[in-house]
A and B are shown apart, each in its own frame.
Chain A
Amino acid sequence: MKFTFIKKHLKKGATIAPLIIASDKTQLSTFGGDKSAWPVYLTIGNIAKSIRRQPSKHATVLIGYIPVSKLEIFTDETQQRNEGWQLFHDCMEKITASLVKAGKEGVLMTCADSQLRRVHPILASYVADFPEQSLVSCTQQSRCPICKVSFHDRGHLNSDTIDTLRDMGETLEGVNVTISGHYSAIADEQGLRPTKPFWEQLPYANIHQCFAPDLLHQVHKGIFKDHLVKWCQTLIGADELNARFRAMSHHHGVRDFHKGISHISQWTGREIKELEKVFIPAIAGSMPADAVKAACALLDFIYLAHYPIMDNSILLRLEAALQKFHDHKQVFIDTGVCKAFHTIPKLHMLQHFTFNIRNLGTPDGYSTESPERLHIDFAKLGYRASNRNDATQQMAIWLQRQEAMKCHEAYLLWRSTQNQGLEVETIASNLFDNEPPDSDANKDEDDSLSFDKIQELADGVETVSVDATSNSAILSAHPVPSVHLAKKPRYRNCTGTIISTHHLAPDFTHEVNRYLTTTFPNRRFTVTDYDTFNVWTRFHLDHPQTAVSADPCRELIRCTPTTRNSNARRGRNAEYDNVLVLTDHSADGLKSESLMIFSACKLAYIT
Chain B
Amino acid sequence: MCSPWKNNREFFETVDSLPHGPSWQRIPVTKKGDLVANGDPQIEEMELWMRDPLECIKDLIGNPLFKKVMKYKPERHWRRGKRVYSEMWTGDWWWKMQVGIHVCA
Q: Mark B32-69, 1 if CB is under 8 A from A, else 0.
A: 11110000011110111111111011111111111111
Q: Mark A212-231, 1 if CB is under 8 A from B, else 0.
A: 00000000000000000000
**Cβ-defined contact, B69 with A63, below 8 A:** no
**Cβ-defined contact, A73 with B31, below 8 A:** yes
In the complex, residue of chain A having the shortest beta-carbon distance to the beta carbon of B20: A404
Known: A8-B104, A365-B88. A113 touches B54 (CB 8 A): no
Known: A308-B86, A361-B90. A444 touches B68 (CB 8 A): yes
Q: Does B9 contact A (CB under 8 A)?
A: no
In the assembled complex, the CB of B84 is this many whole angstroms from the nearest CB of chain A, namely: 5
Q: Mark A11-30, 1 if CB is under 8 A from B, else 0.
A: 11111111110000000000
CA distance A204 to B52 in the complex (A): 20
**Cβ-defined contact, A313 with B82, below 8 A:** yes
**Cβ-defined contact, B57 with A67, below 8 A:** no
**Cβ-defined contact, A47 with B66, below 8 A:** yes
**Cβ-defined contact, A121 with B85, below 8 A:** no
> B residues within 8 A CB of A204?
97
Scan residues 416-473 of chain A and give those whose CB is less than 8 A from a CB of chain B.
Answer: 430-433, 437, 444, 449-461
**Cβ-defined contact, B60 with A66, below 8 A:** no
> B residues within 8 A CB of A310?
84-86
Q: Does A516 contact B (CB under 8 A)?
A: no
Known: A75-B34, A110-B62. A455 touches B76 (CB 8 A): yes
In the assembled complex, the CB of A104 is this many whole angstroms from the nearest CB of chain B, namely: 11
- Pick the contact of B19 from A61, A392, A404 — CB < 8 Å? A404
> A residues within 8 A CB of B81?
452
- Pick the contact of B21 from A112, A400, A430, A456 — CB < 8 Å? A400
> B residues within 8 A CB of A47?
60, 66, 69-70
Known: A3-B96, A42-B56, A64-B49. A12 touches B83 (CB 8 A): no
In the assembled complex, the CB of B3 is this many whole angstroms from the nearest CB of chain A, namely: 16
Q: Does B2 contact A (CB under 8 A)?
A: no
Known: A47-B70, A94-B27, A365-B88. A66 touches B52 (CB 8 A): no
Task: State which of A48-56, A277-285, A590-598 sits at the interface with chain B.
Answer: A48-56
> A residues within 8 A CB of B61?
17, 44, 46, 109, 111-112, 119
Known: A109-B57, A359-B93, A404-B15. A14 touches B101 (CB 8 A): yes
**Cβ-defined contact, A405 with B18, below 8 A:** yes
In the assembled complex, the CB of A548 is this many whole angstroms from the nearest CB of chain B, namely: 14
**Cβ-defined contact, B72 with A83, below 8 A:** no
Q: Does A476 contact B (CB under 8 A)?
A: no
Known: A48-B69, A311-B85. A457 touches B95 (CB 8 A): yes
**Cβ-defined contact, A61 with B21, below 8 A:** yes
**Cβ-defined contact, A107 with B54, below 8 A:** yes
> A residues within 8 A CB of B65?
57, 112, 431
- Pick the contact of B105 from A1, A109, A451, A461 — CB < 8 Å? A461
Q: Does B6 contact A (CB under 8 A)?
A: no
Q: Does A65 contact B (CB under 8 A)?
A: yes
> B residues within 8 A CB of A494?
none
**Cβ-defined contact, A99 with B54, below 8 A:** yes
**Cβ-defined contact, B67 with A49, below 8 A:** no
**Cβ-defined contact, B78 with A405, below 8 A:** no
Known: A1-B96, A79-B34. A91 touches B48 (CB 8 A): yes
In the complex, residue of chain B having the shortest beta-carbon distance to the beta carbon of A62: B51
Scan residues 87-135 of chain A and give those whose CB is less than 8 A from a CB of chain B.
Answer: 87, 90-91, 94-96, 98-99, 102, 107, 109-113, 117, 119-122, 124-125
A-B contact pairs, 10 of them (CB 8 A): A7-B100, A7-B103, A45-B88, A98-B53, A122-B97, A311-B82, A358-B92, A360-B91, A401-B15, A461-B102
Task: State the A residues within 8 Å of B (CB).
Answer: 1, 3-4, 6-20, 40, 42-51, 57, 59, 61-67, 69, 71-76, 79, 83, 87, 90-91, 94-96, 98-99, 102, 107, 109-113, 117, 119-122, 124-125, 204, 209, 308-313, 315, 357-362, 365, 392-393, 395-397, 399-401, 403-405, 407-408, 430-433, 437, 444, 449-461
For the complex with contacts A110-B62, A453-B77, A456-B76, 11 further pairs of A-B residues with Cβ separation under 8 Å are A1-B96, A6-B101, A7-B103, A46-B61, A67-B47, A74-B34, A91-B48, A358-B85, A404-B19, A408-B19, A457-B73
